[in-house]
A and B are shown apart, each in its own frame.
Chain A
Amino acid sequence: MSLLTLRSLRVTLRNRPILNDISLQVERGELVGLIGPNGAGKTTLLRAALGLVPSSGQSSLADLAPRERARAAAFLPQAREIAWPIAVEDVVALGRTPHAPGPDDRNAVEAALARTGLLDLRRRAATRLSGGEQARVLIARALAQEAPLLLADEPAAGLDPSHAISTMKVFRALAGEGHGLVVTLHDLGLAARHCTRLVALKDGCIVADGPPSEVLTPARMRAIFGVTAFHGEADGGPVFQPLDVTRD
């Protein structure tokens, strides 16, 4: 059974169409990179899929009751908000909110802390950490939710190269364990190397959907982003680097 099914999803905000006729299906084992220029509608797509913005069409998640939905899908918003100086492990434990309290909570929190390399920081106040560390704390929170599907908005933004790669590897490992993930990304290099599938969004429409090698073609990069790019192979994986802006 699919983890997420969108059928003809449309979002209109203030009489402006943001998403147009989006149909998408995400299966277990997939790490889907959602790419596209600023303002293409990536964030709105994730929020509409969860039912956080009013939409027409159908989303299998938005149809669920709130707590049921929270057990089916975890969401990592782009805004990294931690309002109070709460200890890291307590922030991560917030991911257990949709679950009935029980012995699983502790294991889920420990596993999430270990996976994100935060065991040493567990008792620190999350607000006193650096921006990148806070981002990892919030990723750990989403992991502790232990939902089959994870929707993450710009999880790699602001992370140093080592933590950006580690994060993508954690996501890929989760996909290998049978989770499904949809991750918006601006770093096309990370997208090329780690995602199993890329979905490109432009002006609220899906313009490409397939394995990274099929989506990241020179013609598509020019059409979607207006850039030229180098696409090669190194260390047993694809390398993708945008090079210059095309003005046509």
Chain B
Amino acid sequence: MTLGTFRYERPSSLDEAIRQAVEAPGARWLAGGMSLLPLMKMELAAPPALVDLAGVEDLVGVRERDDVLWVGAMTRHAELALHPLVARHASLLAAAASQVGDPQVRNRGTIGGSLAHADPAADLPAAVLALDATIQVASPRGRRGIPAGGFFLGPLMTALEPDEVIVAVTVPQRGARRQAYRKRPHPASGYAVVGIAASLRWEGDRVASAAVAVTGVADHAFRAQRTEALLTGEVLTDALLVEASGVVTDGQEVWGDLYASAEYRRHLAGVTTRQVLEHLRADG
């Protein structure tokens, strides 16, 4: 498995990166390379040019800015998993990042790369959905923010335009929430057979608001709206827990594969959701 031939650019600023991409039609952004390079090795992608973002300072770092947590697109999974600001404001993002792939992948792979790739069984899409995060992007036309809820469109499909690059992920700081991410990895690939990200805001023993996102079971990660609606404003009794978990994939076309059929995946999504909710209830 060797890579074919391609042009390689290594810009040191965002402006330079965007300009280089414009000058090389068909160029792909190279972040950690944990998804793109395997595709190229398998001859499933053959971009004529790669614009390597590793040297772009504008994309690095984790900061508190105004009312948001700002996570640079080139932040590696390993850094996300351990960063104190991420732990404070978006602990489920840290939890999800700590379960991506293996240590080598976590040391190379980035949040921007993972979101742009939009693998339907990746961990971070569920995390940014449950956090109501915004994907900040830049292009020759300027900058814009794409809400996570509108970002994932299908398998390996996002709302990114071809010339747009992810600059950062911003997570609103909205006070205390209990958060968790739980995953059942595929025994070979390590991708999520089911991954559940949940963030609950409590008022006393009631759930004031609930965000529950699911990855691995449909063609893209999604928010479990029926589950959220059932939980909101309610005391999380055992009965409600079972009911809310049971509808986590409602309205979704659940997919199956050799390892886990659609029926079993749906079941697992329910079991995993129940485990996450039980954990968040006990974690008070």
Please say whether chains A and B are actual partners in one complex. Answer: no
